[in-house]
């Protein structure tokens, strides 16, 4: 007799992979709204599906890898006729987040991103190292099939790698932060007001700085620091996303601070901005979260010690608690 659970598990796996494929496809269509053509290859400055894929693998498990492959196939099917180059793209887009997940698990990565080492691991292994796979397979197979001239390999490779890496740096922290958010309890009204003001100011500053010809893009960094210090990753990640969307729109449209630049120059400036903002938010948030966790543990130990002292010598703990600084 076949148990109900044995039937339900494959069915859940199929539904989960189909759901991921649909989300992957939808995110890809959004990412392709700001596509650019470099050396005949269609690339995007920010590829959201990569960040979504890695987040799902980290949170739910490696059993979702077929959903990534299926989502990539659907994207390719809507763009061009499937061929050998498409197989390389599917393989690269699937293997890159899978290898990133395996490497992060190997070093003890925690999805809460509450330690500096977790932020460093996500940047170095999840974004920079693993995305070499997708860029190499995607660009390499296009060269082998003649879809991309061999002399343009490195330009296409660099654009491909940066787009995938930015997808991890911008999208993955946001999704991981959403997973750790809990319903607020007894949150003071001023905290809500501060969060709303932070988001509003970030939107305004991002829009103004990416639409004026003045080089004032640096004005958004104090806001990212503010968000990381006060709200950690849950506040900093949305700010980075707002800035990235505004900057990508300005760079691909060649207006604001990107006016008069070539496509290559605009992409270099854009990715330098996105990478700096994402790294600032991710690493500073991890440092603040780690320090807050250590402080809470110290306070808990002090309370437990005070209770022990109170039991052994009643009245002594009240005389010396809280400790003087």
CATH number of the domain that residue 163 is part of: 1.10.1760
Which of 121, 151, 180 terminates a domain? The answer is 180
Work out how many domains the chain is built from and give that number.
Answer: 2
Identify the domain containing residue 139 by its residue range: 1-180
Same domain flag for 28 and 173 = yes
Which of 158, 180, 202 is the C-terminal boundary of a domain? 180
Same domain, 57 and 176: yes
Query: pLDDT tens digits for the chain (325 residues)?
Result: 444 444 447 888 899 999 999 999 999 998 888 777 766 667 788 899 999 999 999 999 999 999 999 999 999 888 777 677 788 899 999 999 999 999 999 999 999 888 889 999 999 999 999 999 999 999 899 888 888 888 888 888 888 898 899 999 999 999 998 876 666 666 678 888 898 999 999 999 999 999 888 888 889 999 999 999 999 888 899 999 999 999 988 888 888 888 888 777 888 888 889 889 999 999 999 899 889 888 989 988 898 888 888 888 765 555 555 555 5
107 and 197 in a single domain? The answer is no
Same domain, 300 and 193: yes
Round to whole Å and give the CA distance between 267 and 287: 30
Last residue of a domain, one of 116, 150, 180: 180
> Quick one: 164 and 297 in the same domain?
no
pTM: 0.83
């Amino acid at each position: 007799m076949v148990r109900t659970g044995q039937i339900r598990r494959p069915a859940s796996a199929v539904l989960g992979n189909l759901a991921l494929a649909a989300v992957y496809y939808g995110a890809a269509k959004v990412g392709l709204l700001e596509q650019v053509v470099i050396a005949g290859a269609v690339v995007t400055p920010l590829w959201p599906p990569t960040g979504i894929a890695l987040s799902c693998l980290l949170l739910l498990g490696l059993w979702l890898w077929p959903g990534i492959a299926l989502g990539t196939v659907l994207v390719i099917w809507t763009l061009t006729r499937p061929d050998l180059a498409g197989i390389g793209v599917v393989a690269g887009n699937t293997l890159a987040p899978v290898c990133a997940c395996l490497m992060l698990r190997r070093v003890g990565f925690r999805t809460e991103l509450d330690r500096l080492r977790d932020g460093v691991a996500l940047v170095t292994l999840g974004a920079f190292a693993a995305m070499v796979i997708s860029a190499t397979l995607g660009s390499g197979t296009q060269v082998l099939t003649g879809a991309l001239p061999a002399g343009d390999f490195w330009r296409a490779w660099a654009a491909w790698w940066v787009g995938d890496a930015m997808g991890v740096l911008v999208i993955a922290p946001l999704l991981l932060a959403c997973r750790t958010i809990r319903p607020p309890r007894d949150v003071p009204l001023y905290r809500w007001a501060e969060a709303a003001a932070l988001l509003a100011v970030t939107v305004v500053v991002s829009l103004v700085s990416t639409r004026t010809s003045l080089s004032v893009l640096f004005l958004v960094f104090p806001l990212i620091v503010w968000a990381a210090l006060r709200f950690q990753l849950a506040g900093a990640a949305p700010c980075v996303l707002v800035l990235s969307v505004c900057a990508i729109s300005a760079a691909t449209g060649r207006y604001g601070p990107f006016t008069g630049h070539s496509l290559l120059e605009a992409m270099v400036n854009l990715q330098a901005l996105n990478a700096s903002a994402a790294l600032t938010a991710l690493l500073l948030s991890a440092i603040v979260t780690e320090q807050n966790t250590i402080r809470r543990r110290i306070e808990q130990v002090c309370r437990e010690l005070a209770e022990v002292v109170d039991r052994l010598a009643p009245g002594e703990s009240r005389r010396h608690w809280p400790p003087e600084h």
